[in-house]
Amino acid sequence: MELQLSDENFQKEVIESELPVLVDFWAEWCMPCRAVASTVTQIAEEFEGRLKVCKVNVDNNPKTASAYQIVSIPTLIIIKNGQKMDQIVGNVSKDFIEEKIRPFLDSKPE
């Protein structure tokens, strides 16, 4: 499940999250954002319980977008323990995103 974030709930949902978080910075008018959206949804389902996946509309939440210096969208940011760990810019493959997030996931429970 993906969570829609705002400037108001970003701190609580992302910075204070116990799970690593993949934040998708996007906008309605952005075609590459729409293209990567289905991939982000698949990752949210596949890693449920191990990774929190959130979306931030940059047009509606300029404070958060500015705080993370988002200049190009889509931008995916991986945050763990409140710290930015990695960043992915553009419409990239599911395999590429998974490769970037795996080092930040706790090992799968048996």
Catalytic residue check, 33? yes
One DSSP character per residue, 38-100 reads HHHHHHHHHTTTT-EEEEEETTT-HHHHHHTT--SSSEEEEEETTEEEEEEESS--HHHHHHH
**Cβ–Cβ < 8 Å for 89, 31:** no
One of 21, 22, 30, 88 is an active-site residue; which one? Answer: 30
One of 33, 56, 97, 101 is an active-site residue; which one? Answer: 33
Catalytic residues: 30, 33
